[in-house]
Amino acid sequence: MGKPGGTFQTFTIPTKAHESNTGNLNVFAATVLRFRAVFDSSAVYQSRQAVNQHDINKLYGFSDCGTHHHQNSARFGWNWQDDALRIYAYVYANGQRTVQTITTVKLEETNEYQISIGPQGYVFTVNGKHATRMAGGCPGSSFRYRLYPYFGGDETAPHPIRIRIMDLDQDLQH
């Protein structure tokens, strides 16, 4: 990521790919991840198979508990469904995935996102008001790695998808 609190970095998921241009593994120990994100019109898509329109793409988050992200992680998810960009809380806790709808956001709009890890689990917040609590989390863990934009479940990106992200934390190693 770029300088915290600085400029947006554009992540592009190429056509027929799942992963964005993420660069190197980025490890951090913070218990809060705060960032801004902007989706442009490339976030509008139609899945090849109608059932896959409900699949959750991933925006940004982190692995947790010093484990692989399919064992323990927290991230924001998204999809384009019913003419709206929907935002989700997307968690793996002890290998069990849970997803919860949070809100919708507009294209070309800057929104602020936060994931906090506490004794009661993860708290997901969008624009300081749409709080969702999910089970999981290891507040005492000192090893986490960032999880960058990812498209799909079953399908790959139907066209290039661009997402701009800006970290807001000044000290991501605390």
Beta strand segments in the chain, E: 9-13, 27-28, 32-39, 57-63, 73-81, 84-93, 96-105, 111-118, 121-126, 132-134, 144-147, 161-167
Using pLDDT thresholds of 50, 70 and 90, give the confidence band for residue 171: very low
Using a 10 angstrom Cβ sphere, with 0-12 exposed, 13-18 middle and 19 or more buried, the burial of residue 2 is exposed
Mean pLDDT of 52-57: 96
Average pLDDT of the residues in 9-26: 88
pLDDT(170) > 80: no
pLDDT of 1: 43
Task: Note the pLDDT of residue 94.
Answer: 95
pLDDT digits (tens, 9 = 90+) for 108-124: 999 999 999 988 899 99
Mind listing the domains of the chain with CATH numbers?
24-167 (2.60.120.200)
Sign of CA dihedral 139, 144, 149, 154: negative
